[in-house]
A and B are shown apart, each in its own frame.
Chain A
Amino acid sequence: MSGIYSKIARDGLWDNNVVFAQMLALCPTLAVTGSATNGLGMGLATTAVLVVSNMLISALRRIISPDVRIPVYVVIIATLVTLVDMGLNAWAHDLYKVLGLFIALIVVNCAILGRAESFASKNPILPAGFDGLMMGLGFTFALVLLGGVRETLGSGTLFSNAALLLGPWAAFLELKLIPDYKNFLLVILPPGGFILLGFLLAGKRLLDQRGNPS
């Protein structure tokens, strides 16, 4: 039994990572990874939606017929995201002011539809929720890594504005790595994101080959 869960965890975090292996969700990935903090915010918001949407779709998998599943998933995910958006705006307004920018982007995140289609629709609720969590954390890891590299090379800082996202205690994360750094524009713009993503992918392949020389 625990074998399934460890496989789900490995898949989500590394082997089948949303960004580094499935190459999904590249649009939000490139859009928000200008800084590590933004990557973290987007990653966490996506994780929350992914867990709930996976569990919901898994619970409904016997009702939803294969022929209309895609529009039904789209309706479910869009509703869920809009509900989160409204709820945060009303009852967690300070958090909303920080995360609000990212929430609208989650709707177009094909990784969520991808997990609904390839995992949640075929598995019971608990593994589906766990898969959502692990895929989400893997996504967060990829975004923070890419955001960290782009921020370091592009603006010479790391985790800037982390205190806005996580609260004042996170101020220690904010580092100014290179004083008086003149911004490296290409890296901050989406093309630079693509190029660095390519390097990170190559790095992952290299690590995988070392571990498994076949």
Chain B
Amino acid sequence: MDEPNKPRFRDGIPYQALLLGGFATLATLLLVAANMATQGAIEQRQKEDLQLFLTQVIPPAQNASGLLENKLQLPAPGGKPVTVYRGIGQGRIKALAWELSGKGYAGPIRLILGLDAEGKILGVRVLSHAETPGLGDKIEAQKDDWILGFNGLSLGDPPEARWKVKKDGGQFDAFSGATITPRGVVGAIREGLRFFEAHKAELLDPPKGSQTSGRTEP
């Protein structure tokens, strides 16, 4: 249908190279521009999400304030430092929350874990994941209340050896058809609780007063 008399140039290699190169350049420019245009908004949205998730994993009844202000950076075994958000009430750390990453079926599962000062879980929520819709996405609190089953547990309850999905000899249910996803979530929470035990002193040290001294608290 559309066959205009082609100029010879169109049949040569240079035209093909220019065409492909041109489109690739154009696409790159567009993506760079879009990235610059959306970066701020996306970061803002993610911050709002974080705030929202923080209030979900640390219930307001804890009277813990200043979660976004009282940040603490700690080195983590994985290399990247962990930012711990800490809520303060009556001069003491009342609640803590930080981000975890679990190995999912399709890439990392980002979680946020909220603990009280004794290391008991106040709440866990999924921040982002790429699990199969309809199977693995039941870890989202909106779709299933599986993730709420962790509330109130800690590293001693159940004992550490039972912090696994049932298939691995632990006590947590997996979903039918998706074992890898819950396994990743349970494993990440277990690691998070271990992290709390290992860094208890620094984590529970209130920010004002002594910043660097190794004062230990029970």
Using a CB–CB distance below 8 Å, which chain A residues touch chain B? Answer: 31-35, 38, 41, 61-65, 67-68, 71-72, 75-76, 78-79, 82-83, 86-87, 89-91, 93, 101-102, 104, 122-123, 161, 164, 183, 185, 188-189
Q: How far is the CA of A183 from the CA of B13 in the complex (A)?
A: 58
Q: How far is the CA of A77 from the CA of B142 in the complex (A)?
A: 32
Is B2's CB under 8 angstroms from A61's CB?
yes
- A-B interface, 5 closest residue pairs, ranked by CB to CB distance from nearest: A34-B134, A90-B41, A90-B38, A79-B27, A93-B45
Q: How far is the CB of A7 from chain B (nearest CB, A)?
A: 16
Q: How far is the CB of A11 from chain B (nearest CB, A)?
A: 17
Option from B2, B16, B142 in Cβ contact (under 8 Å) with A68:
B16
Is A82's CB under 8 angstroms from B20's CB?
no
5 contacts between A and B (CB under 8 A): A33-B134, A65-B16, A86-B42, A93-B49, A101-B137
With a 10 A CB-CB cut-off, give which of A32, A122, A188 has the most chain B CB atoms.
A188
**Chain B residue with minimal CB distance to A122?**
B1
Is B133's CB under 8 angstroms from A31's CB?
yes
Q: Is B10 part of the contact surface with A, judged by Cβ < 8 Å?
A: yes
Known: A34-B135, A104-B130, A188-B134. 10 other contacts (CB 8 A): A31-B133, A38-B133, A64-B19, A65-B16, A75-B20, A75-B27, A79-B27, A83-B31, A90-B42, A188-B135
Option from A32, A65, A90, A123 in Cβ contact (under 8 Å) with B45:
A90
Q: Is B176 part of the contact surface with A, judged by Cβ < 8 Å?
A: yes
Is A86's CB under 8 angstroms from B34's CB?
yes
Q: Kindly list chain B residues whose C-beta atoms are within 8 Å of the C-beta of A93.
A: 45, 49
Q: Check A189/B19 contact, CB under 8 A, given A38-B134, A65-B10, A79-B30.
A: no
Contact with A along B168-202 (1 / 0, CB 8 A): 00000000110000000000000000000000000
Is A71's CB under 8 angstroms from B20's CB?
yes
Is B42's CB under 8 angstroms from A83's CB?
no
Is B1's CB under 8 angstroms from A161's CB?
no
Is A161's CB under 8 angstroms from B41's CB?
no
Q: How far is the CA of A36 from the CA of B149 in the complex (A)?
A: 27
**Chain B residue with minimal CB distance to A105?**
B133
Is B177's CB under 8 angstroms from A188's CB?
yes
With a 10 A CB-CB cut-off, give which of A41, A62, A65, A189 has the most chain B CB atoms.
A65
Is B133's CB under 8 angstroms from A32's CB?
yes
**Chain A residue with minimal CB distance to B6?**
A65
Q: Kindly list chain A residues whose C-beta atoms are within 8 Å of the C-beta of B16.
A: 65, 67-68
Q: Kindly list chain B residues whose C-beta atoms are within 8 Å of the C-beta of A101.
A: 130, 133, 137
